[in-house]
Copies of this chain bind each other. A is one copy, B any other.
Amino acid sequence: MLDLCLLGTGGMMPLPKRALTALMTRFNGSSLLIDCGEGTQVSIREKGWSFHQIDVICFTHYHGDHISGLPGLLLSMGNAERTEPVTLIGPKGLERVVSALRCIAPELPFPIIYREIEGAAQHFSIHGYEIDTYKVNHNILCYGYSIEIPRAGRFDPEKAEKNQVPKRLWSRLQKGETFTEDGIVYTQDMILGPKRKGIKVTYCTDSRPTDAIVEAAKGADLFICEGMYGEKDKAAKAVEHRHMTMQEAAKIAAKAMPREAWLTHYSPSMVRPEEYMDSVKKIYEHIKAARDRWSLTLDFDKNE
């Protein structure tokens, strides 16, 4: 079961009733954050979630509205007496940028682990999260993220017997243990059927539309995507600043066909994103203009 909360839906600058775009997920006692703008920690408090379990913080890029809240969050996590390490994932330059920002948060009671993304795509396995990063197209180096909770296959007794796995190991193998007996290594995959669909959330901001985003969002239960502008006359501005319109985001969704899509990262000039949803929903039916702290609990499909 994965809980998620879109902590804010703003782009560029925080507003009184619209926090900057950031996503928080909770899975199996471990929380993950994507982006951390000025005020993200306040939105976490408004939601009533804890800083304490934030084990991973991912950054799409280093524009202020996506990372300006990091020193404050780290200080608050320190004040909450965290001592376990926190892993930061982000584009090249991560350690340099975070170290600079930490001039106002030099002393923390926990270590920071830096994982800089290399190349056009990289995979990270951490705290039960399977994280795929993919390069997008912004005016500085920027990545999107897919967060997956994998699901093992069903127990397959025929396969277990075919693989000559002793019965007494079956239940413990299902729990993920591994055994070596008489020189034979017994692993979970010897008694399980093909992997079943897990939980997948794909996140993208800030970018022009690209094929990489479509590929990443395929099979997603939730696709969260920037839709900075809604007005037709802002299309050129979206191109100029390497952002995308709500309609462009819907076109990506229409190709990737996620179960549901949420728009976010609205321009401060866009007061009511819902106003543009008629044209957007014509492009992809299952898309919504998200609001701050929209939340969802995603579970494995009971029919699979």
Contacts and interface: CB of A to CB of B under 8 A. Distances in A.
A41 B12 contact: no
A74 to B, nearest CB: 9
A129 interface: no
A36 B32 CA distance: 28
Contacts of A96: 103
A68 B104 CA distance: 7
A75 B39 contact: no
Taking each of A12, A63, A67, A100, which has the highest tally of chain B beta carbons within 10 Å of its own beta carbon?
Answer: A100
Contacts of A38: 38-39, 41-42, 68-69, 72
A76 B13 contact: yes
Given A42-B15, A72-B38, A79-B12, A62 B101 contact: no
Nearest to A37: B72
A41 B68 CA distance: 12
A37 B42 CA distance: 13
A217 to B, nearest CB: 28
B64 A75 contact: yes
Contact of A72 (B13, B41, B76): B13
Contacts of A79: 12-13
Given A13-B79, A38-B41, A42-B39, A64 B72 contact: yes
Contact of A46 (B16, B62, B104): B16
Contacts of A68: 38, 68-69, 71-72, 104
A14 interface: yes
Nearest to A75: B64
Nearest to A93: B103
A195 interface: no
Nearest to A105: B64
B45 A16 contact: yes
A1 interface: no
A270 interface: no
Contacts of A67: 104
A296 interface: no
A75 B103 CA distance: 19
- The list of the 6 closest CB pairs from A to B, nearest first, reads A100-B103, A38-B72, A64-B104, A100-B100, A16-B46, A68-B72
Interface of A: 12-16, 37-39, 41-42, 45-46, 62-65, 67-69, 71-72, 75-76, 79, 96-97, 100-101, 103-105
Given A13-B76, A62-B104, 18 more contacts: A12-B75, A13-B41, A13-B72, A14-B39, A14-B41, A38-B68, A38-B69, A38-B72, A62-B103, A63-B104, A64-B71, A68-B71, A68-B72, A68-B104, A97-B103, A100-B100, A100-B103, A101-B103
24 contacts: A12-B75, A13-B75, A14-B42, A14-B72, A15-B42, A16-B42, A16-B46, A37-B72, A38-B38, A38-B39, A38-B42, A38-B68, A39-B39, A62-B103, A62-B104, A64-B71, A64-B104, A65-B72, A67-B104, A96-B103, A97-B104, A100-B101, A100-B103, A101-B103
